Structure 1
Amino acid sequence: MAENGEEKWVAVARHIAKTLGRNDTMADDILQIFSNFDGRFSREKLSEKVGEEDPRACAALEQTIKALERQISQYVTADHPIWVDSADSSAFLDAIDELISTIRDWTPMAGDKIVGACLVRAEDLMQQAMFRVEDEFRLLMERGGESLELSRAYGNGGESAGNLSFDSDDEEEEEAVGGVGIGNGEDHDRIPTARPITDYDIVIDALPSGTINDLHEIAKRMVVARFGKECSHVYSSCRREFLEESFSRLRLQKLSNEEVQKMAWQDLEDEIERWIKAANVALRILFPSERRLCDRVFFGFSSAADLSFMEVCRGSTIRLLNFADAVAIGSRSPERLFKILDVFETLRDLMPEFESVFSDQYCLFLRNEAITIWKRLGEAIRGIFMELENLINRDPPKGPVPGGGLHPITRYVMNYLRAACRSRQTLEQIFEENAGPLPSKDYPGGKLDDGGSPSSLFVQMVWIMELLETNLEAKSKVYKDPALCSVFMMNNGRYIVHKVKDSELGSLLGEEWIRKHTAKVRQHQANYQRSSWNKVVGVLKLDNASLGPHVAAKLKEKLKLFNQYFEEVYKTQSTLVIFDDQMREDLRNLVNQLLLPAYRTFIGRLQSFPEIGRSLDKHIKYGPEDIEARINDLFRRSGGSSGGRK
């Protein structure tokens, strides 16, 4: 074999001289260089004309091909897996290495008829060998998948989890955590996946280390032999099964955009929860583990590793992104905001994983698609706030709320905005990224950015609050009684301020906004007092100049008129609803302070007339204590619950 190898090298040297030499003199010079470089290339051996091939070298090539055919054929036709025996696998790989080397060395002389024919036979033999190692590669992937090891990446090695099981019988546990899982090797027909987990800082070693080394040795030969795409195809098809089964264990359905659009909202909420868990598991555990496995199997061949990884993860990634996209292009109904925010935040938080895991050229389109859908989710959230504005504008004044109490739209909008502001940072990010020109208005107390302008989220919230106030003012017009109108605005205004003050919404709108709207509530209280009690108190005013000569008679007439006005107002006011305990107490105190001193003064004046004082009990229907008791009985709680602040 050594002699044949030397003859082959001599033939190669002649071929190089023939190819590079433009004339006989130049060719002789090249041959002289070879002769000086290595004694095997003696001038005698190279003395034949450069244009003539050495028949002995061609015979050596034929002999080499025949020998390789005998060696490789016994493995190609074997009826048992080759890699169960390390000696067989090593010998097979050695034969493939020699075949690769032979083809590479003799390809420059393929123009020679005899050499060309030998190379055709060699290429055919190579194809047969590649078909067989492809099958062996697949078998190794499938057998290796039966043994799955889960290890924690805590710097100094992993933590074994070999005794963990696939499934959890506890449905509540599956609801509470996302998961990947491991197989116990007892069911050879199933692709192993992972059970529910609570920690994403883990790495799945989906194949044993020895199997990975064997796969690498095969992949290396297939790539060098220009069968890299075939190797990638086999690899990716096997690993895709693992990912698909893992997704099924996470209970994430395969849904088209149309199916997502038609889902009942409750069902879609549940599916979003499953999607969030699946996305975190995929981007933080499954895909990085697949990246690691690809890099080990195709070590030294980055292009093949990148292509294989893309083929493995493309389908699962597109499945995740398509669902997020279907959510983004769905209904803009306001109640969907919070789940869409969850999807947006999940995708946003996973962007570093998209950047790191899908960093190569083959995965660029997946990374770009994730960014596009993430931005589309932001557009959907802005669209939901526009729909909220439309909802407020479209809510028409209907019948009056009994007792001037809280209007349902006030509760809805304020609780909605409070809940939304729990995701304030996310909303600020969304609105800042697509901020339009701000209105030329002064927004005191608003959160300012570095340029001194109010934040886009602040402007959005102020605008919604203004729409709500305008809507409530229109609704207050349905009350014919001015006092009821004032109580309605007072109730709803107090509720708005209360909901703003003790939430993130108050931090966003600022103290100045709160002071301004608290002053509005006080103004409504003043309007209530003026429209309800000023007329009653006015009757009790004493002006001797206006009373004239018949003072006693006129005082008795005033007392009669007071009783009439008081009873009318009391009858009306006793049906009013004040949702806030403190405001109810403040209003009672206000009326008491306004009415009782004036009434006591009036009664005292009556007692100063002897003709009245002797029969005062006949004229006074209500004593001061009776007036105070009735005032303290005014106003009802909203919905019968203390405070009514729901």
Structure 2
Amino acid sequence: MAENGEERLINAVLQIAKALGRTDTMTEDIIKQFSDFDGRLSLDKLAVRRDPGGGGGGGGGGGGEDSVPFERTLRALDRQISHFMGLNRLIWSDSDDADKFLEAVDDLLDTIRDLDAHPAANKQLLASADELLQRCVLRLEDEFRSLIERPDAAAPPPPRGPRAYDSEESEGEEEEEEADEGEGQIPIARPVTDYDIVIDALPPGSVSDLHEIAARMVAAGFGRDCSEAYVLARRGFVEESMARLGLRPRTAEEVQAAPWAALEDEISRWIRAFQMVFRILIPSERRLCDRVFDGLAPFGDLAFAGACRAPALQLLSFADGVAAASRAPDRLFRVVDMYEVVRDLLPGLDPLFADHYSAALRAEVATVCKALGSSIRGIFMELENLIRRDPARAAVPGGGLHPITPFVSDSLFTGGFNTATHARAMDKPADASRGAGAGPAAPVDPDRPTSSLAVHIAWIMDVLERNLEAKSKIYPDPSLSCVFLLNNGRYIIQKVKDSELEVLLGDEWMRRMMARVRRWGGEYQRATWGKVVAVLHLGSAGATAATAKSMKERLRIFNNYFEEICREQSGWVAADEQVRAELRVSVLEMVLPPYRSFVGRLKGMPDAGRDKYVKYTPDDVEARINRLFEGTVKK
């Protein structure tokens, strides 16, 4: 019954068209109007029912009577499509026109499929249909690009008030913008701290229209052209977004030739740009491609790879240039920062670059990550070789700070190492905090250099310490060797504390280093002042004449030792005020109490001439010790 009802409807339409149409053209126009009004009245059905036996003149040169319905359908479609082609505005600026144009394209595709399947169809008709389809595709491509580049131009401005694609947050932002404009203020973009966001670059309505166009172009066999149109339209947006991040394009060669001072600031911008592009911009582009080309694989993957590849490679080229540049030690932590950002990002790229077309880009990111890791290892190796190559030629006057110590320490501990890097680098092996002393605390993973960053640094500190110990042997006086090691060791400890690397190296490393410094201080005291204090020890002898004579001799020896030490060590150096104060206090605590006791005991002797042997009062001894380690000329 449904079929009989549809047949009666079609017959009624044909009768009306025949009665009103004074010419074939007018009849076909009337039929087309009915077809637009009701989906059941397709042009093909009406054409077949109008010429059930294939009668009528066969245009197009020998197609036979079977070609007549197709010919009339194509003529009707050509007139309808030509109407849209002649518009001087975007078809999608009117939703009704867009729907009718898509319907005409669908009818044309159905007609072409029928012509392909019809054995008696006229080949010239098929060629005409293909030509008409190409015209449609060109217009679809133009509309497609316009919807991407100028989505607002494809539709009249929306009325004031909430839009269909506005969220509550966007409405709140709009109110804030209006309030700012009313106050005459210029809105300032806030720094991005949360990268777990997605940008909707196009409104949902435009995305839906783009999907409809893409589906027709793919159905027509022009899916790759649609992908290329997407790339041409979106690549400019991605590149402009990158330009707003403040990073100008540089080749790897330009990066290697640039002075390091200029690169340091650019690396900071690069880190922010890299996170913005790979955590926000590219995921947002992936989401847009998936929506526009939903169900149209692999053309969405092709469009995504084409839109993102060039801008992403620009960022990677900069990192590659930094990795291949000089491996000077002062570059270490800037390269570490870059490596950390890329390494942390790699796992999140797997779902983004899982398809065949963008897998190569994921491989490029992994390659750059390895290059940065290799650069870090190279910097450590260069620093180690530099320390080992520094010979023990001449002793530093007064046992002061050797130039190699601040050079290495400043290279490692003043490189802008920040708290975020601390947190990432704290995944070091469990025994990485063993510290220096017997080589690396744990094997270094060549693919994850910062996982063993503490091991690297502890090993460099061990190499430096061994180098300093070799240099300390140049001094003929063992006491001065100890002062030299004490000065340099304290400098290293202070640098670690100032740079907050104590957290990275661990408490155990710090305790071991401080124990070495205390040992060197103790060795200095024993080597220098041990014999002085030994002279003052009287044992258990009583206050006899023989004892008094012995005490006078001991006091004479003490005076000689004390004067010689003060004269010699007046030219010795303490690296800073704290080291100087600690050395003086330790000497005073060792010497002054036994000397006070000795002098007091001597003065208690029954000898009128005892005072002439006391050349230095305890206050004099304290004053002389407090003038040590000033680095003055010997007297």
TM-score w.r.t. structure 2 length?
Answer: 0.74
**Contact preservation (8 Å) 2:256, 2:325:** yes
Instruction: State the alpha-carbon separation in 1 of the partners of residues 188 and 481 from structure 2.
Output: 53
**Residue number in structure 1 paired with 2:385:** 390
Superposed displacement of residue 442, structure 1: 6.9
The size of the alignment, in residue pairs, is 554
Give 1:629-640 correspondences, 5 Å limit: 629-636=623-630
Instruction: State the alpha-carbon separation in 2 of the partners of residues 313 and 273 from structure 1.
Output: 22
Aligned counterpart for 2:220 among listed residues 209, 217, 225: 225
Give 1:529-568 correspondences, 5 Å limit: 529-537=525-533, 539-540=535-536, 559-568=555-564
Superposed displacement of residue 205, structure 1: 2.6
Matched, 1:116 2:123: yes
Task: Provide the secondary structure at the position in 2 that maps to 1:294.
Answer: helix
Distance 1:54 1:508, change over 3 A: closer
**Residue number in structure 1 paired with 2:170:** 159
Matched, 1:341 2:348: no
Matched, 1:577 2:577: no
Instruction: State the alpha-carbon separation in 2 of the partners of residues 445 and 170 from structure 1.
Output: 58
**Contact preservation (8 Å) 1:109, 1:116:** no
Task: Provide the secondary structure at the position in 2 that maps to 1:282.
Answer: helix
Matched, 1:624 2:618: yes
* Percentage identity across paired residues of the two chains: 47
Superposed displacement of residue 314, structure 1: 1.3
Superposed displacement of residue 524, structure 1: 2.5
Matched, 1:70 2:70: no
**Contact preservation (8 Å) 2:413, 2:499:** yes
Instruction: State the alpha-carbon separation in 2 of the partners of residues 145 and 312 from structure 1.
Output: 21
Instruction: State the alpha-carbon separation in 2 of the partners of residues 448 and 333 from structure 1.
Output: 20
Letter in 2 for 1:159: S
**Residue number in structure 2 paired with 1:137:** 144
Give 1:600-615 correspondences, 5 Å limit: 600=596, 602-603=598-599, 607=603, 613-615=607-609
**Residue number in structure 2 paired with 1:473:** 469
Task: Provide the secondary structure at the position in 2 that maps to 1:382.
Answer: helix
**Contact preservation (8 Å) 1:447, 1:508:** no
**Contact preservation (8 Å) 2:316, 2:365:** yes
Instruction: State the alpha-carbon separation in 1 of the partners of residues 187 and 429 from structure 2.
Output: 37
Task: Provide the secondary structure at the position in 1 that maps to 2:198.
Answer: strand
Give 1:308-387 correspondences, 5 Å limit: 308-387=303-382
**Contact preservation (8 Å) 1:447, 1:510:** no
Instruction: State the alpha-carbon separation in 1 of the partners of residues 629 and 583 from structure 2.
Output: 9
**Residue number in structure 2 paired with 1:203:** 198
Q: Deviations over 1:498-517 (max 9, x none)?
A: 66689876566666655555
Distance 1:64 1:595, change over 3 A: closer
Instruction: State the alpha-carbon separation in 2 of the partners of residues 92 and 512 from structure 1.
Output: 76
Superposed displacement of residue 395, structure 1: 2.8
**Residue number in structure 1 paired with 2:91:** 82
Aligned counterpart for 1:102 among listed residues 91, 102, 111: 111
Task: Provide the secondary structure at the position in 2 that maps to 1:290.
Answer: helix
Superposed displacement of residue 126, structure 1: 1.0
**Contact preservation (8 Å) 2:444, 2:455:** no
Matched, 1:60 2:56: no
**Residue number in structure 1 paired with 2:30:** none
Matched, 1:595 2:591: yes
Give 1:33-44 correspondences, 5 Å limit: none
Instruction: State the alpha-carbon separation in 2 of the partners of residues 427 and 383 from structure 1.
Output: 18
Superposed displacement of residue 539, structure 1: 4.9
**Residue number in structure 2 paired with 1:258:** 253
Distance 1:568 1:83, change over 3 A: same
Distance 1:67 1:601, change over 3 A: closer
Instruction: State the alpha-carbon separation in 2 of the partners of residues 374 and 568 from structure 1.
Output: 61
Distance 1:66 1:490, change over 3 A: same
**Residue number in structure 2 paired with 1:194:** none
Instruction: State the alpha-carbon separation in 2 of the partners of residues 282 and 232 from structure 1.
Output: 21
Instruction: State the alpha-carbon separation in 2 of the partners of residues 576 and 442 from structure 1.
Output: 31
**Residue number in structure 2 paired with 1:37:** none
**Residue number in structure 2 paired with 1:641:** none
Distance 1:81 1:476, change over 3 A: same
Letter in 2 for 1:358: F
Instruction: State the alpha-carbon separation in 1 of the partners of residues 307 and 282 from structure 2.
Output: 9
Superposed displacement of residue 235, structure 1: 1.6
Letter in 2 for 1:568: E
Matched, 1:269 2:264: yes
Q: Deviations over 1:75-118 (max 9, x none)?
A: 334444333333333332222111100111221235x4x52221
Instruction: State the alpha-carbon separation in 2 of the partners of residues 146 and 267 from structure 1.
Output: 42
Coordinate RMSD, CA, aligned = 4.5
**Contact preservation (8 Å) 1:332, 1:384:** yes
Distance 1:373 1:400, change over 3 A: same
Q: Deviations over 1:532-569 (max 9, x none)?
A: 22343455566999xx9998777656544433332221
Letter in 2 for 1:215: L
**Contact preservation (8 Å) 2:444, 2:452:** no
**Contact preservation (8 Å) 2:399, 2:573:** yes
Task: Provide the secondary structure at the position in 1 that maps to 2:246.
Answer: coil
Distance 1:555 1:347, change over 3 A: closer
Distance 1:260 1:474, change over 3 A: same
Instruction: State the alpha-carbon separation in 1 of the partners of residues 405 and 185 from structure 2.
Output: 42
Distance 1:157 1:102, change over 3 A: farther
Letter in 2 for 1:615: G
Letter in 2 for 1:623: T
Task: Provide the secondary structure at the position in 1 that maps to 2:357.
Answer: helix
Instruction: State the alpha-carbon separation in 2 of the partners of residues 430 and 558 from structure 1.
Output: 58
Instruction: State the alpha-carbon separation in 1 of the partners of residues 115 and 570 from structure 2.
Output: 109
Instruction: State the alpha-carbon separation in 2 of the partners of residues 566 and 418 from structure 1.
Output: 40
Distance 1:381 1:487, change over 3 A: same
Matched, 1:483 2:479: yes
Instruction: State the alpha-carbon separation in 1 of the partners of residues 608 and 411 from structure 2.
Output: 64
Task: Provide the secondary structure at the position in 2 that maps to 1:276.
Answer: helix
Instruction: State the alpha-carbon separation in 2 of the partners of residues 615 and 103 from structure 1.
Output: 134
**Residue number in structure 2 paired with 1:35:** none
Superposed displacement of residue 271, structure 1: 1.3
Instruction: State the alpha-carbon separation in 2 of the partners of residues 331 and 74 from structure 1.
Output: 65
**Residue number in structure 1 paired with 2:29:** none
Distance 1:90 1:275, change over 3 A: same
Instruction: State the alpha-carbon separation in 2 of the partners of residues 593 and 141 from structure 1.
Output: 82
**Residue number in structure 2 paired with 1:406:** 401
Task: Provide the secondary structure at the position in 2 that maps to 1:350.
Answer: helix
Superposed displacement of residue 387, structure 1: 1.5
More divergent stretch after superposition (556-565 vs 206-215): 556-565
Aligned counterpart for 1:92 among listed residues 101, 104, 114: 101
Q: Deviations over 1:610-644 (max 9, x none)?
A: 5xx32344443212232233224434599xxxxxx
Task: Provide the secondary structure at the position in 1 that maps to 2:105.
Answer: helix
Superposed displacement of residue 365, structure 1: 1.0
Q: Deviations over 1:310-354 (max 9, x none)?
A: 111111111122222222222221111111111112112322442
Letter in 1 for 2:623: A
Letter in 2 for 1:119: L
Instruction: State the alpha-carbon separation in 2 of the partners of residues 231 and 92 from structure 1.
Output: 17
